[in-house]
A and B are shown apart, each in its own frame.
Chain A
Amino acid sequence: MSNNDLNNEEIRRQLRSIDAMNKEAMPMWRNALTRMFGDPNMSTDDKAALLGVPAPGRRDIFKMGGAAIAGAALLAACGSDDKKSATTTASTVAPTTSVASTTAATTAATTGATTPATEGSTAATEGSTATTDGGGNMDLTLAKTAASLEKLAVDVYGTAAALLTTPAVLDAAKLFAGHHQMHLDALNGVITGAGGKAVTEQNKAVFNALIKPSLDKAKSESDALMIAVALEEAAAQTYTFAGGALSTPELRSTIMTIGGVEARHAAVLRMVALAMTPFDVFPDKRAFFPGDNPLAAIDGALIS
């Protein structure tokens, strides 16, 4: 194993710096979310892809994969527009490792014409997403479901904190919980802007199906940190999937400017907090980040 020669104070100082950068970045993220939910030309499938949730007609590409906790962030947030009952799956799919293997998924995922980004679209979207049938309702549903997942992440970090004995690591957990809280706030801003009610409760269905078993098994600080790593990597994988599934080049690039940083975050957690080696950052020496969306559909996960 590698050695960690950073003292607690140094780690705290660095985490504060990262926190400052995150706060600076949040307005951009919120703007992107608002545009995505407010864009009438962005299909429900594309929005579902962005959020990492199942979409109508695309269940075949939404399969559970990766570590158990991966499902926590990729969670089956919703089913289809007609709210068909869904079942939990635990099948594992091979990571995407080539252009050829991504083609089928993304071709199926991306439907309809691309829509160029519209400058200053943020204000124009408010109040428009909750007024139409189908897509409009699904916009709010997806936003609420995503918000419930962010709340879940906040709660999970809070629960895991009881296992953290290293002050610097605890500080990190609090920091990342704060990040998820900011994500929740951003999503709720979109929801309330569209006339909906802010989400304040975690997604209980997902917690019971995926998170609780993992937390129940966690006995040490390392266990808790592995949950955090899995969450970050799952987020990066979600963005990687969305990087090929969103409808416009602009959105795909924007998503991946975030996804890349999530991947860095996971690498830092592994090597600095868990004192792992570089080879642990690249399981099986993988040359490609998984681009499939490890997702399970869970009854009750949809927050309408």
Chain B
Amino acid sequence: MQITSREFQALAADVDDLHNESMKTFAEETAELHLDAYKASRRTFMAGSAGLVGAVAIGSALVLPGLSQRVAAAGLDDKTIAGYAQSVELAAVAVYTMAAPLLTSATLPVAQMFLAHHQAHADAFGAVAGDKAVKAPNAKLVAAVGPTLAGLKTEADALGFAFVLEGQAAYTYAAALTLLQDPAYAAATATILPIEAQHQTVLGIALGKKVTDVFPTGAFESSALGDGTDPLKGLDPATFG
């Protein structure tokens, strides 16, 4: 699969406004990053639930009776999950922004569209997170990916990094759906998960990956959570919350 420069250049103007819109608040969010990192380090809302959530594997939701009750006992309410999702989306915005200098005019418009998507997702989650809404990207996640981001040298490196992150985002939402109690929150999350999955698919095809490789977890999206080092697992709030 190849995407021609002409095609992307022709579309660049169309998405430039989206990029500009999305970048309006980035500087402010970045400035607050370190402050939120301190605050985030004090949050313990996932205490005791990491092992439980991490045990959720592909398709296993059907055989985990009582999961919701145990999650509730761990203190993970829907607003908290929404706030966490918002912070992850804002981190994705930050990552795309940081990777942008490595992208050519051929790929930049697509990245900008994806960035705008993540900003929209963050806004959606933030709107329902109540007092759990955040103003900055997930500090722990940004810190965790920082060294890798700094080491990216080529456009392929950047797209490859985004490929993994998008998959992890999709898996995070599959896991989040096992936790969200309010159907309205679940409905919103359900409209976002396929977009992240398609992001990863598009990036994989643009990278020239085999078709099988754009289905990293096979016929089912993973609903497992991890510490960010496993590309086949979502981003565990126990690590990044």
Contacts and interface: CB of A to CB of B under 8 A. Distances in A.
Interface of A: 1-6, 10-11, 14-15, 17-18, 21-22, 24-25, 28, 31-32, 35, 96-100, 102-103, 105-107, 109-110, 114, 116-120, 236, 239-245, 248-264, 266-268, 271-272, 277-279, 281-282, 285-291
For the side of the interface on B, what is the size category? Answer: 35 or more
23 contacts: A2-B1, A3-B4, A4-B2, A6-B1, A14-B212, A96-B191, A99-B188, A106-B187, A117-B65, A119-B65, A243-B186, A244-B190, A252-B186, A253-B178, A258-B220, A259-B190, A260-B174, A261-B221, A262-B194, A271-B201, A277-B3, A278-B113, A282-B113
Given A257-B222, A268-B211, A249 B198 contact: no
Interface string B160-202: 0000000000100111011111011111111111111110111
A18 B211 contact: yes
Nearest to A266: B198
Of B2, B3, B184, the most chain A CB neighbours within 10 A belong to B184
Contacts of B102: none
User: Dominant SS at the A interface?
Assistant: helix
B221 A256 contact: yes
B205 A260 contact: no
A100 B127 contact: yes
Contacts of A236: 194
Contacts of B62: 31-32, 35, 117, 250-251, 254
A103 B186 CA distance: 10
Given A282-B113, A287-B120, 4 more contacts: A14-B210, A25-B219, A99-B184, A251-B61
Contact of B68 (A28, A100, A248): A248
Contacts of A245: 183, 187
Contacts of A241: 190
A106 B110 CA distance: 32
Contacts of B173: 256
Binding site of B, secondary structure by majority: helix, strand, loop or mixed? helix
A254 B61 contact: yes
Given A106-B186, A117-B63, A256-B177, A2 B218 contact: no
B100 interface: no
A256 B174 contact: yes
Nearest 6 CB-CB pairs, A to B? A244-B187, A243-B190, A25-B219, A263-B194, A253-B177, A102-B187
B70 to A, nearest CB: 10
B128 interface: yes
Contacts of B73: none
Contacts, number: 257
A3 B7 CA distance: 11
A267 B201 contact: yes
B85 to A, nearest CB: 11
Contacts of B174: 253, 256-257, 260
Contacts of B188: 98-99, 102, 244, 291
Nearest to B185: A99
A117 B61 contact: yes
Interface in B51-82: 58-59, 61-69
B223 interface: yes
A212 B206 CA distance: 35
Contacts of B7: 1-2, 277
A271 to B, nearest CB: 5
A249 B202 CA distance: 28
B175 to A, nearest CB: 7
Contacts of A120: 63
Contacts of B170: 260
B192 A289 contact: yes
Given A5-B2, A256-B193, A28 B220 contact: yes
Contacts of B193: 243, 256, 259-260, 289
Nearest to A253: B177
Contacts of B152: none
Contacts of B183: 106-107, 109-110, 244-245, 252
